[in-house]
Amino acid sequence: MSEPADFVARLRAERQDLGRKEALRRDGEHRRRKAMLLAGAAALVLGGFGAWLAGATAGERPESEPYAPLMLDEAMWPDKWPATVRLPFRGSPAASWSNGADGIVLPEANAVGGLTPSQVGDALRNTKELLVEANLTAGTLQGLSPTRALNLLDPHDHDKSELEDTFQHPRDGHSPLQMFTRFDPQEVRVHGDVIKTRGTMTYEVSASGELLVHADYTFVYPVVKAKGGLEVVPGAEEVARVIVRRQLTLVSRDGKLNPREYVRQIGNDDCREPKDGFIHPLFSQEAAKAPKWAPVDPYDTSKDIQANSSNCSIPTQT
């Protein structure tokens, strides 16, 4: 018999062998039972993990507090969890903004209203220096007198005298925070050397022939407590973010700046604190206990800052 014929005959004999059929049946049942046992074990493992996860996020643990955080990459944490010094801008709209003075980009200086490009350029550079000295310089942020910023202002201008007086006699409606960003060094400090900045600067000539420079900038500060800060996870202290938006109109005259208008909006400032000329940030635990003030998006620059922007509010995002 040829080889193909032998093969066919062998297959027919095996199909008719009752012993082989029973062995195949038992083997199939064994495989099915094994698969069911493995599936059951997997379900138990997943069920146990789910129960642990539910227990870890329930009860007395606040919704904003990370559970088993060392299991996760911090970059993947939900935005409602506090930021830490490891990723101070995690989840913030400002994360992709420019750093510090790099975010203050000057427009091109052109001749306008009888002024030369050089004169316009000087006014724009002075305005940028004022913004930097008032909002980004370490000494100013630490509560020191912003001497270089004040020297950019016209010494005969009434607003300069008013601003200088705010440092000596701060009070509601009469605060250095109107122009300068300051933190109480006994309470908080800016973490690291990165402050996020974004905004615009324009200029025009007024009807009276004066050069007006308009600036609208937002600064975002990561701050930590001077002492006793919360460790969100071991070795990683909590960071709170403060958002300061400023709108200024300055008149440039004889190489000096005269403040015409200046308003500010501060996101994440505890308005219950004394009017001492400092920003008092709320960290996660304090924010959870704060009154339900009006929600405000500190990143919304679609509208001008309102006169009552210093009223109590809670930022919708930081």
- The per-residue pLDDT for 58 is 47
Query: DSSP class of residue 181?
Result: -
pLDDT for position 16 = 57
Closest by alpha carbon to 103, among 9, 169, 191, 199?
A: 199
> CA 49, CA 54: separation in Å to the nearest integer?
9
Query: Where would I find the H helices in 136-192?
Result: 138-141, 147-151, 158-168
**In this structure, how many other beta carbons lie within 10 angstroms of the beta carbon of residue 292?**
6
Which residue stretches of the chain have pLDDT < 70?
1-71, 308-310
Conformation bin of residue 255: beta by default, left when phi > 0, alpha when psi is -120 to 50: left
What are the sequence ranges of the domains in the chain?
20-59, 74-315
The two beta strands, 83-84 and 236-253, are: antiparallel
Tokens of 295: 């929600």
pLDDT of 273:
87
DSSP per-residue string spanning 209-274: S-EEEEEEEEEEEEEEESSS--EEETTEEEEEEEEEEEEEEEEEETTEEEEEEEEEEEES--TTS-
pLDDT tens digits, 106-127: 999 999 999 999 999 999 999 9
Locate tokens 């903004």: which residue? Answer: 97
Tell me the two tokens of residue 181. 């960003």
Report phi then psi at 59, rounded to 5.
Answer: 75, -135
pLDDT score of 78:
86
What pLDDT, on a 0 to 100 scale, did the predictor assign at position 38? 55
